[in-house]
Amino acid sequence: MSIRTHSALPWGHIRTGKNSPGLCSFSKPRSARSQARAIGLWSSGTFIGLFIGLSAGGWLDQTYGRRVAMWAAAVPGVIVAILLKFTGTERKPRRPPCVTW
């Protein structure tokens, strides 16, 4: 078992496999500006989701109670899981993953 020790990418997270596989899609050759925009949008989703989720969950907890807040967090995930089960298709990768073992 070996980990690739060098990479053309400027960041070290991907080559050791410590980050999300979604970030591997940014390793395609493209302009620096569009690559920076893509990584910025992808990274900001985490913080926007945290802000909205914690704010909405806190408000629901204070207003309606903890059980309602937990159900409000669970219902969208269950709906997406059901939709993916019946409509999602598994695709074969077009290129090898960023990390080779």
pLDDT digits (tens, 9 = 90+) for 4-23: 444 454 544 444 444 555 66
| More confident: 91 or 47 | 47
For residues 42 and 23, give the distance between their C-alpha atoms in angstroms, rounded to a whole number.
8
Q: What is the dihedral of CA 31, 33, 35, 40, to 10 degrees?
A: 180
- For 73-97, what is each residue's pLDDT tens digit? 899 999 999 998 888 777 776 766 6
For residues 68 and 91, give the distance between their C-alpha atoms in angstroms, rounded to a whole number.
36
- For 55-79, what is each residue's pLDDT tens digit? 999 999 999 999 999 999 899 999 9
| Domain boundaries, given as residue ranges, for the chain | 31-86
Residues 10, 94 contacting (CB under 8 angstroms): no
CA distances from 68 to 17, 32, 72, 77, 79 (A): 37, 45, 6, 15, 17
Q: What global pTM score does this model have?
A: 0.51
For position 101, what pLDDT does the model report? 59
